[in-house]
């Protein structure tokens, strides 16, 4: 294969969406502030955010299902509205729903036709995909008899059916049992192996942590940070949480740069690992009763919560660089 020119898979150029809500008196509701984001070719990119952050809105905009108030995007080097783009991308919507009078096999057949999969290849592709998403045994059952998790599997199947270069998954793990989640993880890894780009939204952080090359954190329609998981979590790496009884904070502990929170009758301090012994000594000197010392989980979860809390309190814009 000849090397193709490297270009980003997705370039979001200030997409913005304001909904008009209310029946009689329309009020604007800004679901997405001008969003800028770039996803590189061949990476697994996680789009993280709490409920209502604007993840689904972004994906629907990119799929051309809704129209932006302003801004544009490029997908695989073309204008995002270009029909030629659609043949090369796959999309799994949030809580997917399909024509329930069709069987899984018929649905995939129909979608393969719409995606322009050549007749000769169709059968083989459908068999392969049914196997991949574990629906081979129920391929002849009408979709109205499918459970939520089975529909999710159909959804994933139809997204990869036409062997797209780039897939968009809106909460791919939702509704799946532990085995199913595992399988979807493996599937995403496999897509990456095949050189595909995966863009998925989630609020299940451990999935993002295990899979993603990079993530973006979005909150209230605004990207707070973009970066590799490691880079994002390093700010809370190597810290310990020390809890003791009372409401007193010794000056020596303050001097160590601890971040202290006083609750009813406890103090919770977060500080660098290296000061751990110094703190314990200080507490002993002051005769304060130590309750616990625990390393802070350096997970994306922590980072995420911290970041959101910070965003809530400052309520200003903290647009992060890539």
Partner 1 sequence: MKTSIPHIASNTFREAVRDRVLYNLIAFALLLSGAAILVGQISIEIEKLVVINLGLTAVSLFGVVIAIFIGIGLVSKEIEKRTLYTVLSRPVRRWEFIVGKFFGLAGTLTVNTFFMAIGVFAALFYVSHRFVRADALIFVALYFIILEFLIVCSLALLFSSFSSPLLSAVFAFSLFVIGSFSEDLRNFASMAHGVSRWLATGAACLVPNFSAFNVIASIAHEQPVAVQLILQNTLYALFYAAMALSGAVLIFEHRDLK
Ligand X SMILES: Nc1ncnc2c1ncn2[C@@H]1O[C@H](COP(=O)(O)OP(=O)(O)OP(=O)(O)O)[C@@H](O)[C@H]1O
Q: Does 64 help bind partner 1 (rule: CB under 8 A)?
A: yes
Asked if 164 touches ligand X (CB under 6 A), the answer is: no
Selected range binding partner 1 among 105-113, 206-214, 230-238, 258-266, rule: CB under 8 A: 105-113
Token pair for residue 279?
A: 């703190």
Question: CA of 30: how far to CAs of 38, 70, 141, 170, in Å?
Answer: 22, 12, 42, 20
* 90 phi/psi in degrees, rounded to 5: -120, 150
Q: Is residue 299 classed as helix, strand or coil in its secondary structure?
A: coil
- How far is residue 74's CA from residue 81's CA, in Å, rounded to a whole number? 9
Three-state SS annotation for 193-211: HCCCEEEEEECCHHHHHHH
In the Cβ-directed half-sphere of 48, how many Cα atoms lie within 13 Å? 30
- φ/ψ of 107, rounded to 5, equals -60, -45
Q: Taking CB under 8 A as the rule, does residue 98 contact partner 1? A: yes
The answer to whether the Cα torsion of 130, 134, 138, 144 is positive or negative is negative
**With CB under 6 A, what is the number of residues at the site for ligand X?**
14
Asked if 89 touches partner 1 (CB under 8 A), the answer is: yes
CB nearer to ligand X: give 94 or 106.
94
Query: E strands of 42-196, at which residues?
Result: 44-48, 70-75, 78-79, 89-92, 166-170
- Asked if 94 interacts with Mg ion (CB under 5 A), we say yes
Residue nearer to ligand X on the CB measure, 51 or 294: 51
Query: Does 56 help bind Mg ion (rule: CB under 5 A)?
Result: yes
Helix 148-160 with 119-132: angle, nearest 10 deg? 140
Query: Which partner from the list ligand X, partner 1, Mg ion, none does 105 bind, CB cut-off 5 to 8 Å by kind?
Result: none
How far is C-alpha 140 from the chain's CA centre? Answer: 33
Q: Which of residues 17-56 bind ligand X (CB under 6 A)?
A: 19, 21, 29, 31, 49, 51-56
By CB under 8 A, what part of segment 142-161 binds partner 1? 155, 158
From the list ligand X, partner 1, Mg ion, none, partner contacted by residue 51 (C-beta under 5 to 8 A by kind): ligand X
Shortest Å, Cβ 69 to ligand X: 12
- Out of 36, 110, 249, 250, which residue is the one contacting partner 1 (CB under 8 A)? 110
Q: Which residue is nearest to Mg ion (CB)?
A: 56
183 burial level (CB within 10 Å; 0-12, 13-18, 19+): middle
Residue 63 binds partner 1, judged by CB under 8 A: yes
Strand-pairing partners, residue 226, are 216
Smaller CB separation from partner 1, 49 or 93: 93
Total binding residues toward partner 1, as defined by CB under 8 A: 28
Residue span 210-249 as binding mask against partner 1, x where in contact by CB under 8 A, dash where not: ----------------------------------------
Interacting residues with ligand X between 79 and 118 (CB under 6 A):
94
- Residue among 216, 259, 209, 247 nearest 230 (CA): 209
Q: Is 122 in the site for ligand X (CB under 6 A)?
A: no
Nearer to ligand X, 19 or 110 (CB): 19
User: In which region does residue 71 sit, left (phi positive, over 0), alpha (psi from -120 to 50) or beta (all else)?
Assistant: left
Which residues contact ligand X (rule: CB under 6 A)? Answer: 19, 21, 29, 31, 49, 51-57, 94, 203
Residues that bind Mg ion in the complex, under the rule CB under 5 A? 55-56, 94
């Amino acid at each position: 294969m000849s090397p193709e020119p490297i270009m980003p898979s997705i370039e979001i150029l200030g997409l913005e969406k304001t909904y008009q809500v209310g029946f009689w008196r329309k009020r604007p509701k800004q679901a997405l502030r001008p969003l800028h984001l770039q996803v590189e070719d061949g990476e697994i990119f996680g789009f993280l955010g709490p409920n209502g952050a604007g993840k689904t809105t972004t994906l629907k905009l990119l799929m051309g299902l809704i129209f932006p108030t302003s801004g544009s995007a490029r997908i695989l080097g073309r204008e995002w509205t270009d029909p030629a783009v659609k043949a090369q991308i796959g999309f799994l919507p949030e809580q997917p729903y399909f024509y329930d009078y069709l069987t899984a096999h018929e649905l995939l057949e129909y979608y393969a036709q719409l995606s322009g999969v050549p007749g000769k290849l169709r059968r083989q592709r459908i068999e392969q995909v049914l196997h991949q998403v574990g629906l081979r045994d129920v391929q002849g059952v009408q979709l109205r008899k499918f459970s939520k998790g089975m529909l999710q599997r159909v959804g994933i199947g139809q997204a990869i059916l036409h062997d797209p270069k780039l897939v968009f998954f809106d909460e791919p793990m939702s509704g799946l049992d532990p085995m199913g989640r595992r399988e979807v993880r493996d599937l995403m890894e496999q897509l990456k192996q095949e050189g595909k780009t995966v863009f998925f939204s989630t609020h299940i952080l451990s999935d993002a942590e295990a899979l993603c090359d990079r993530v973006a954190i979005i909150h209230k329609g605004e990207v707070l940070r973009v970066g590799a998981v490691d880079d994002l979590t390093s700010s809370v790496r190597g810290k310990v949480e020390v809890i003791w009884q009372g409401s007193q904070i010794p000056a020596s502990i303050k001097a160590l740069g601890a971040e202290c929170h006083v609750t009813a009758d406890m103090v919770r301090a977060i500080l660098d690992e290296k000061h751990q012994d110094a703190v314990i000594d200080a507490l002993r000197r002051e005769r304060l009763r130590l309750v616990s010392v625990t390393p802070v989980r350096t997970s994306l979860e922590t980072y995420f919560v911290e970041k959101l809390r910070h965003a809530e309190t400052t309520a200003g814009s903290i647009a992060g660089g890539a």
